Amino acid sequence: METTETTEPYIRLNAKHIIGIAAPHTWVACVYSVLIGAALALNHNGGFSGFPVLMFVLALFAAFLFQSTANAFNDYYDFIGGNDRADNSDNPGDAILAYNNINPEHVKKLGFCFMAAAILLGIYPVYKGGPIVLLIGLVGCTLILTYSGGKKSVSHTAFGETAAFFGDGLEVPATFLALVGASIPNMWGGLWPEILTGKIFFCAIPVAISPAMITMVNNICDIERDTVAGRRGVVILLGRPRARIFFLTWICIWLAMIVTCVALFFPKGLILVLALIAASSLVWLRLFRLSYVPEKRGQCIGVIVTTMHCLGISYVAALIMHALRG
């Protein structure tokens, strides 16, 4: 890897830099992972009675910290690898190290601090949620550490989008088990039927697709820059025209999976989810008209994030509606 060096002394890492590295605007996928896990727990427990608010807050902030960890490591490795430079990025928020003379090693250490804090917050959810939550946590930490780091990072291969898929998708069953386990103390003694039958994992698929879509939009827009940086992701292998078709196909799968999950397991929310998806069609239909070139990157990211909000809210609302009418 190439290391970007500076002849000027590094500036001190301050609160503004820390917030920029944590990148709260990227936490949106984490929110919906935890919300869907909570909505599944509501349906399992039969409503809001006895809902473990403290556990929900712990799960939410642990998810935020894990996402901040991933953001810090991405910033660090993209900078030292030469992928983030002031001359190839016009957004200081996406290349904070390229626009601020911060010691990159301090950013890497900050990432480990975020991870340590997330692990501390996760101790109680793991205790209540059982061995599957522990396993999911270990898989999540491994994905974070290997996505950008190592001699051959996952983000430089065709599995980058897949890693994003599993990273947020696994938070759904972890949240579900932690919330259910908060009211039932013997979660370490066995596995729940929802886990054994795969119902919870199946319902997590729409949530898992959404961050992979954001990653793919970003990669399609940055295809030239990523090619120069040595990445060989699925977008680069396909090329922009075919990658765009591939992406739009997954948008259709995303929509279909939300409707399918609600229809199969939460039918009392089906009319609501169909109405909300139809009401937001002016947003997600824009994805089929965008060009996904570097000059339109900000617009593309804005549309896919807004689409995530629309579809995420639709899915959560449908599950809550089913729980309330149950």
Residue bearing tokens 């030469």: 82
Query: CA-to-CA distance for 234 and 223, rounded, in angstroms?
Result: 10
Reported as a single tens digit per residue, the pLDDT across 240-283 is 999 999 999 999 999 999 999 999 999 999 999 999 999 999 99
Q: 181-190, 219-228, 289-298: which has the highest mean pLDDT?
A: 289-298
pLDDT digits (tens, 9 = 90+) for 229-247: 677 778 888 889 999 999 9
- Which of 15-19, 82-86, 134-138 has the least mean pLDDT? 82-86
61-97 exposure pattern, b = at least 16 Cβ within 10 A, e = fewer: bbbbbbbbbbbbbbbbbbbbbbbbbeebbeeeebbbb
Position 156 pLDDT exceeds 80: no
Phi, psi of 158 (to 5 degrees): -75, 0
Confidence category of residue 4, pLDDT binned at 50, 70, 90: very low
For residue 144, what pLDDT is reported? 85
Is 164 or 289 the better-scoring residue by pLDDT? 289
pLDDT, tens only, 27-68: 887 899 999 999 999 998 877 877 889 999 999 999 999 999
Tokens (6 digits) for 227: 């090619």
Structure tokens at 41: 């727990």
Mean pLDDT in the chain?
A: 84
The pLDDT score that the predictor gives to residue 45 is: 81
Helix (H) or strand (E) holding 168, with range, is helix 160-169
Tell me whether residue 210 is exposed, middle or buried, using C-beta atoms within 10 angstroms of its C-beta: 0 to 12, 13 to 18, 19 or more. buried
Q: Round to whole Å and give the CA distance between 155 and 105.
A: 20
Residues 113-151 have pLDDT tens digits of 999 999 999 999 998 888 888 899 999 888 888 877 665
Question: What tens digit of pLDDT does each residue of 158-216 get?
Answer: 666 677 767 778 899 999 988 988 666 555 555 566 665 688 989 999 999 988 898 88
Q: What residues contact residue 54 under an 8 Å CB cut-off, 6+ apart? A: 182
Q: What is the dihedral of CA 166, 169, 172, 173, to 10 degrees?
A: -40
Match 């626009």 to its residue by tokens.
99
Burial of residue 3, with CB atoms counted within 10 A of its CB: 0-12 exposed, 13-18 middle, 19 or more buried? exposed
Average pLDDT over residues 13-36: 88
Angstrom distance (rounded) from CA 262 to CA 314: 10
Farthest-apart Cα atoms in the chain, separation: 65
Over residues 94-102, mean pLDDT: 71
Q: Where do the domains of the chain lie, and which CATH numbers do they carry?
A: 15-325 (1.10.600)
Read off the pLDDT band of 312 (50, 70, 90).
very high
Q: Quote the percentage of the chain above a pLDDT of 70.
A: 82
| pLDDT confidence band for 77 (50 / 70 / 90) | confident
Work out the pLDDT band at 157, boundaries 50, 70, 90: low
Distances (CA, A) of 97 to 14, 21, 23, 24, 103: 13, 9, 13, 17, 8
pLDDT (0 to 100) of residue 232:
72
Q: How confident is the model at residue 96 (pLDDT cuts 50, 70, 90)?
A: confident
